[in-house]
Amino acid sequence: MTAAAFDMPTPNPALCQPGGGIGVVTVERRGFSHVETDLDWVAEEIPVSLEYNGLAHAVMLATPADLEDFALGFSLTEGVAATAADILGIEVEPQPQGITVRIDLAGRRFDQLKRRRRALAGRTGCGLCGTESLGQVLRDIPAVTATTIFQPATLAGALAQLRAGQHLLGKTGATHAAGWMDQDGGVALVREDVGRHNALDKLIGALARHGADAGAGAALVTSRASFEMVQKAAAAGIGMLVAVSASTLLAVQTAERLNTTLVGFARQDRCVVYAHGWRLRNREGAAQ
């Protein structure tokens, strides 16, 4: 049975090929008095194993798209790598039960990883799975030094661009996104995943692969602003994290400590600033 049999739009081949992030399934659309068989797009969610120099380190459930970005971003935000230069190579290898991402890590960083190795069996959206101690949760990350100022009026346009760039969400309704906003409100990069942490890691990895200055822009996320999201953004040197939903108390406290501007409930003409509002200023220069 083909998509054409139900007059279903043809999915983007880049998305539906292996590793593209979308599958097609047969569904029943039910009403009170009828049942209609149809085809529907669904987001892929598969186990992704991250291996460093042959050593299994983490298994996360993720959307199998932009996995090189994910591997690099995860390595940076989790402190496995200090800079992108510590990652010497990334190889994505499909397996019968998932995907293995083999990461060639610089020797000095690999020695450090082995000393603090832990099991990390991750579920979708789980940012702390497998953490063995409180010290591994609240990591010693330097405060963000970025000084880029953003106009509040640019947020609405940036959020609209982020939504337009959510191709997986448009087809499946099942993914989060993280986008990169420059100082003028342009969104040049968008990454999607079933897990919000994964989407942010993919974005941070993409920035590193492009050699972008993380302090020159802001991260937009289609989720709540949780502690892990703030910590990941700060670890990458991002000065402002903008979320469409609420923040948690620990996220606010972490943003205050790490000199990160934290914005939540971002809408067309309003938002809530939780921490370091000096980076978000109106035309007269007063803090929003």
Tell me the per-residue pLDDT of 100-123, one tens digit each, with 9 for 90 and over: 999 999 999 999 998 876 544 444
Residue 271: active-site member: no
At 136, the pLDDT band (50, 70, 90 cuts) reads low
pLDDT band at 140 (very low <50, low <70, confident <90, very high): confident
Please, which residues have CB within 8 angstroms of residue 143's CB and are 6 or more apart in sequence?
234, 257, 258, 259
> Would 223 be classed as within a structural domain?
yes
Confidence category of residue 70, pLDDT binned at 50, 70, 90: very high
Which one from 16, 126, 129, 271 is the annotated catalytic residue? 126
Whether 14 shows a pLDDT value over 50: the answer reads no
Instruction: Tell me the CB-side half-sphere exposure of residue 216, using CA atoms within 13 A.
Output: 10
Other Cβ atoms less than 10 A from the Cβ of 283: the count is 8
SS3 letters across 39-92? EEEEECCEEEEEEECCEEEEEEEECCCCHHHHHHHHHHHCCCCCCHHHEEEEEE
Q: What rounded mean pLDDT belongs to the chain? A: 87
Domain count, the chain: 2
| Sign of the C-alpha dihedral computed for residues 260, 266, 269 and 273 taken in this order | negative
Asked if residue 77 is part of any domain, the answer here is no
From first CA to last CA, the distance across the chain in angstroms is 55
* Structural domain of 167: 154-279
Question: Which of the four pLDDT bands, split at 50, 70 and 90, describes residue 269?
Answer: confident
Residue-level pLDDT at 268:
81
Establish if 76 belongs to a structural domain: no
Average pLDDT value for residue range 221-238: 96
Q: Domain with 158 in it: what CATH number?
A: 3.40.140.10
In a domain, 83, yes or no: no
Q: Which amino acid is at 201?
A: D
Q: What pLDDT score was predicted for residue 12?
A: 46
Whether the pLDDT of residue 129 is over 70: the answer is: no
Residue 121 domain flag? no
Question: Is 232 contained in some domain?
Answer: yes
Structure confidence at residue 218 (pLDDT): 98
Please check whether residue 202 lies inside any domain of the structure.
yes
Task: Give the amino acid at 205.
Answer: G
Contact assessment for residue 53 and residue 105, using Cβ atoms and an 8 Å cutoff = yes
pLDDT above 80: residue 130: no
Model pLDDT for residues 39-48, shown as the tens digit of each residue = 999 999 999 9
Q: Is residue 99 part of a domain?
A: no
Decide: 277 and 287 in contact? Cβ < 8 Å. Answer: yes
- Distances from the Cα of 21 to the Cα of 66, 88, 117, 159, angstroms: 9, 26, 30, 22
